Amino acid sequence: MKHGAAAGLRPERPDWTIEQGWERYTSAEHATWRTLFERQTKLLPGRACDVYVDGMRRLPIGPGEIPDFHRLSDVLGKRTGWQVVAVPGLVPDEVFFEHLANRRFPAGQFIRKPGQLDYIEEPDVFHDVFGHVPMLMNPIVADFLQAYGAGGLRARKLGVLPNLARVYWYTIEFGLVEQADGIRIYGSGIASSYTETVFSLEDPSPNRLRFDLERVMRTRYRIDDFQESYFVLGSFDELLDLQRIDFAPIYARLRGTPELEPGDVLAGDRILHRGSGAHHAGKRAVH
Ligand code: HBI
Ligand code: FE
């Protein structure tokens, strides 16, 4: 896999962290943050879940400037014991998991260029801070992510990391949740994306299916486009249950069951919305 902005270089520290160097951001970089913050903040009311909105409100994250990780960590640390640490981009899986297992969230130090507002290959400060950090103010999510880090270290040794990574992908990155007033976004990959925020909730194309752990563990995902299926939690208490699960018997059962394609819908799925598939079908026709 790719190892980020520092590809080919040996990191100075074994845990891949770097100084954020907040005072070194340029005014152009702060302006990019403002552009991203403002257009995203207009879209999120009525679309982002209450947990996200509440977390954001309590954090020193605003339109004016790229947030300072030390200030974020002060507020976050008091609430859930998490810290935000700076990394140059994607870090190796075991380094990523080791941070999460110790309640450190590795956030990209850099910000995307003005020409890449809607698509970046690596997580930058906007995706990581605007997308992930508000959710870490919630104790259930905070504990789940730590458990995922510990589980990732074990899954790597067992050779089942792809199965576990799908849980992360379809919850933390691209998860939806059912609230009393409707389906809402909690996944950071959606909450930090202008186009996917609307697509995930309102477009007729993707499937919206009730979250089921084993189903998700079998389901491949797309990294190059919007998701073909989104999985919807009934409530965040489902993440509490996940944390307590002993995954070993599940991994054993999964061996021998076929993998599922991102757009597959099964007889046993609880379907909230059956997608037309139009978005991805159109793309395939073009290629
Ligand atoms: N590194 N900085 C960073 N952010 C991620 O989200 C990340 C990573 N390295 C590996 C990784 N994610 C995933 O491949 C694991 O969740 C499987
Ligand atoms: Fe992410």
pLDDT bucket at 249, cuts 50 / 70 / 90 = confident
Mutate which of 91, 96, 105 for ligand 1? The one with the most ligand atoms within 8 Å of its CB, which is: 96
Has residue 1 got a pLDDT over 50?
no
Query: What's residue 282's pLDDT?
Result: 75
Query: What's residue 4's pLDDT?
Result: 44
By the 8 A CB rule, do 33 and 125 touch? yes
Percentage with pLDDT > 70 across the chain: 95
For the stretch 213-226, pLDDT in tens is 999 999 999 888 99
pLDDT bucket at 246, cuts 50 / 70 / 90 = confident
Query: What's residue 2's pLDDT?
Result: 41
- Mean pLDDT for all residues in the chain: 93
By the 8 A CB rule, do 103 and 83 touch? yes
Has residue 254 got a pLDDT over 70?
yes
**Residue 66 gets which letter from DSSP?**
P
State the ligand closest to the CA atom of 92. 1
Residue 81, both tokens? 């014991």
pTM over 0.85: yes
Mean pLDDT, rounded, for 131-147: 97
Residues in contact with ligand 1 (CB, 6 Å cut-off): 87, 90-91, 93, 96, 106, 123, 165, 168
255 residue type, one letter: R
Has residue 9 got a pLDDT over 80?
no
Has residue 287 got a pLDDT over 50?
no
Nearest residue by C-alpha to atom 2 in ligand 1:
90
What strand order describes the sheet that includes 207-210? 182-185, 176-179, 229-233, 207-210, 271-273
* CA geometry: angle 125, 65, 82, nearest 5 deg: 50
Mean pLDDT, rounded, for 77-90: 97
At 141 the three-state DSSP class reads helix
Query: What's residue 256's pLDDT?
Result: 84
Nearest residue by C-alpha to atom 11 in ligand 1:
93
Nearest residue by C-alpha to atom 14 in ligand 1:
93
Alpha-carbon distances, residue 192 vs 71, 78, 210 (angstroms): 21, 25, 22
Mean pLDDT, rounded, for 7-26: 88
Please list all protein residues whose beta carbon sits less than 5 angstroms from ligand 2, which is an ion: 188
Residue 275 CB neighbour total at 10 angstroms: 21
Alpha-carbon distances, residue 138 vs 42, 52, 134, 164, 225 (angstroms): 23, 8, 8, 22, 28
Q: How many CA atoms lie within 13 A of 93 on its CB side?
A: 17
Residue-range domains of the chain with CATH = 22-286 (1.10.800.10)
Residue 81 CB neighbour total at 10 angstroms: 13
Which of 36-45, 160-169, 227-236 bottoms out in mean pLDDT, i.e. has the lowest? 160-169
User: Nearest to residue 221, comparing CAs of 281, 168, 157, 177?
Assistant: 168
Buried b (16+ CB within 10 A) or exposed e, 106-140: bbbbbbbeeeebeebebbbbbbbbbbbbbbbbbeb
Residue 194, both tokens? 């202008």
Query: What's residue 248's pLDDT?
Result: 85
Residue 195, both tokens? 């186009």
The contacts of residue 100 (CB under 8 Å, 6+ apart) are 145, 146, 148, 149, 150, 152
Mean pLDDT, rounded, for 143-162: 92
